[in-house]
């Protein structure tokens, strides 16, 4: 199972939100580059990066910082936030990221998603941000009437490399992940799922690892690392 420590960037800083609410945002002292260095030095190979300004504005605002991380460390980076066009995807693929995450654009333009999967094979991941079964878009500001389960049925044969499933009700709360709903959705398709949102302790990580569900590929951990609930050297032992 892959463990993805997270770096969420807003205005050039590492931040974490609670339930996607920008009014409940905590900024941290370490720069995104310093945070990536800590992950790299502790033996992590995969990092999850989100450009929150990009998610809100629909275009990347922190690409310079992210590209500096890509150049500085030998990491497999999955990047999301404000990626809306084939040109955006092409630019990130050329810069050396492992996976490009599409959220809003994937839901609003399934043709774009299909084309992207065909053109950039094994590079496209989807961010499925869900609250009470329904998909949210644009940095979680926009609710749709699309059920995640219905959307998955429509796109399951496109060639998507992974799905990052975030339960918005859990994200940033450190109250434990929504394993039940994640597995329920993951079992509907043959696409690897990443669990995201609510990881509170090393026990949560161990629990996910023990699931032995072949469709659960990994887990993303953010706020618990930043707040010190999960020590990075402890987490490194679970890689």
Residue 98 annotated in active site:
no
| 8, 51, 167, 171: the active-site residue | 8
List Cβ<8 Å contacts ≥24 apart for 206-209.
206/238, 207/179, 208/1, 208/177, 208/179, 209/1, 209/238
Residue 132 annotated in active site:
no
Cβ-based neighbours of 198, under 8 Å, separated by 6 or more: 167, 170, 171, 172, 173, 174, 175, 176, 177, 178, 204
| 51, 53, 88, 129: the active-site residue | 129
| Burial of residue 203, with CB atoms counted within 10 A of its CB: 0-12 exposed, 13-18 middle, 19 or more buried | exposed
Q: Which residues does the annotation mark as catalytic?
A: 8, 129
């Amino acid at each position: 199972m892959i463990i993805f420590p997270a770096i969420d960037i807003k205005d050039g800083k590492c931040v974490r939100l609670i339930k996607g609410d920008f009014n409940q945002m905590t900024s941290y002292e370490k720069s995104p580059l310093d945070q990536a260095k800590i992950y790299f030095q502790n033996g992590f190979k995969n990092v999850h990066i989100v450009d929150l300004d990009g998610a809100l504005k629909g275009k990347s605002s922190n690409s310079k910082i992210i590209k500096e991380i890509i150049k500085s460390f030998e990491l497999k980076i999955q990047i999301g936030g404000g990626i809306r066009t084939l040109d955006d995807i092409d630019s990130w693929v050329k810069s050396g990221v492992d996976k490009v995450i599409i959220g809003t654009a994937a839901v609003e333009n399934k043709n774009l998603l299909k084309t992207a999967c065909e053109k950039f094979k094994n590079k496209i991941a989807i961010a499925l941000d869900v609250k009470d079964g329904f998909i949210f878009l644009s940095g979680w500001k926009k609710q749709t009437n699309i059920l995640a389960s219905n959307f998955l049925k429509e796109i399951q044969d496109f060639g998507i490399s992974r799905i990052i499933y975030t339960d918005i009700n859990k994200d940033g709360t450190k109250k434990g992940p929504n394993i039940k709903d994640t597995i329920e959705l993951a079992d509907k398709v043959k696409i690897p799922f990443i669990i995201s949102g609510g990881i509170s302790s090393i026990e949560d990580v161990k629990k996910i690892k023990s699931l032995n569900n072949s469709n659960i590929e990994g887990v993303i951990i953010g706020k618990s690392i930043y707040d010190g609930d999960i020590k990075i050297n402890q987490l490194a032992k679970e890689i």
